[in-house]
Chain A
Amino acid sequence: MAELQERLEQLGHDARWPPTPDLAAGVRQAIESSPSPPPRSRFRRRPLLAALLALVVGGGVVAAPGVGSELLQRLGLKGATVTQVRELPPATLGGPLAVGERVSLADAERVVDHDLVRPAALGAPAEVYVDGDAVTFVYRARSRRPILFAQVPGSTRRYVQKLATGRTQRVQVAGRPGLLLRGRHVVIFARPDGDAVVAETRLAKNTLLWERGELLLRLEAEQPAGELLRIARSVG
């Protein structure tokens, strides 16, 4: 194998790479023409983020037993924290998903940097969305609200925070620790590039968070908790 690696390095030396462009002028012009962060259409939820942070910082936090980032860290869910709050800001159940760009399943498998997993119990997803390295499958049923199944590389690059008013319970999913959030909650994401904080709200009745390998998995639905656990155990 060492010979192959050596050949590859030599190939890199010999390859005719495009000339390195002079980026300084363009970067300088871009910074000078828009010194402050540009308006971001998808950041219109920023006031909501401010409200959420104010809610947390301003004394709205209730330290619920058994819930919190420290506990999540101990459980190994390093990509997420859950904060209990007295009340949630207004949001609409089943509002805009805001989970990125809609793509085909094949394209999602092609563009993300991790192997996609799917809950066999739900079959093929009706819709697939990609946002950075996060993939969300949407399953639609006639009689219920959509089921969301999201998978995110569970590193600390992407920070997921949930503000919850309901009860949070420790669970096991295929031998891995997870958290089951019952009742309404709000989700906050931070983009991995550190460009800006994006706050998304998505209210769901029940949510299951658990780790599988390097992925943080999230299942949101209005189904009962037992049904969520059954679906989660079918992920393969």
Chain B
Amino acid sequence: MLARNAADAEEAAQDGFVKAWRALPRFDRSRPFRPWLLAIVANEARNRRRSAGRREALVLRAAASTSDADRAGSPELALLVAERDAALAAALERLDERDRQVIACRYLLELTEAQTAAALGLRVGTVKSRLSRALERLRAQAGAEVLHG
């Protein structure tokens, strides 16, 4: 989500883990480990993408799969659900990068607000306010048809 392609994400994760290993002696044991590790790896991903100057599009492939059929109850409805998901993914893709990242971390990856803050290098308060604005913009992008079908 931050590196914008799987290969860079894998390299960033690996390099982030190595950095975390080397930084372990400086880790404050009184603080939670996961946000610390998340911040290191996320920072690595952002730096990697920044240095590469890449602007690859994130493609969220909404899966027209058995889960759609399960959710919808019939193949016809499953197709409609898949189309709505694809439209929502497209609307998400049209958002500004910062809006997209905060929504993706919080809802697609289902991180907590604190974890989202750690991953994006923000304060929790910033995550809350940015998320609120980003959802409004996504709602405007997606339109009523996508949201209410």
Contact = CB atoms under 8 A, between A and B. Distances in A.
Given A7-B88, A11-B89, A16-B61, A192 B121 contact: yes
Interface in A119-164: 130, 132-133, 153, 155, 157
Nearest to B136: A1
A21 B5 CA distance: 13
A101 interface: yes
B5 to A, nearest CB: 9
Contacts of A4: 135, 138-139, 142, 147
Interface stretch (A25-33, A68-76, A86-94, A217-225): A25-33
A112 to B, nearest CB: 9
Given A8-B108, A23-B17, A195-B40, A18 B6 contact: yes
Contact of A31 (B18, B49, B97): B18
B126 interface: yes
Contacts of A153: 121-123
Contacts of A12: 104, 107-110
Nearest to A197: B26
Interface string B63-81: 1010110010000000000
A11 B121 contact: no
A175 B126 CA distance: 21
A133 B51 contact: no
A23 B89 contact: no
B108 A9 contact: yes
A23 B107 contact: no
A56 to B, nearest CB: 18
Contacts of B108: 8-9, 11-12, 15
Interface size, B (range) = 35 or more
Interface string B27-71: 100000000100110011011011101000000111101011001
- For A3, A9, A110, A194, which residue has the most chain B Cβ atoms within 10 angstroms? A194
A232 to B, nearest CB: 23
B52 to A, nearest CB: 11
A32 B1 CA distance: 29
A27 B44 CA distance: 14
Contacts of A192: 39, 43, 121
Contact of A193 (B39, B89, B142): B39
A42 interface: no
A37 B22 contact: yes
7 contacts: A4-B147, A8-B88, A10-B85, A111-B50, A113-B101, A132-B47, A194-B27
Interface of B: 6, 9-10, 13-19, 21-23, 26-27, 36, 39-40, 43-44, 46-47, 49-51, 53, 60-63, 65, 67-68, 71, 84-85, 88-89, 92, 97-98, 101, 103-104, 107-110, 120-123, 125-126, 135, 138-139, 142, 147-148
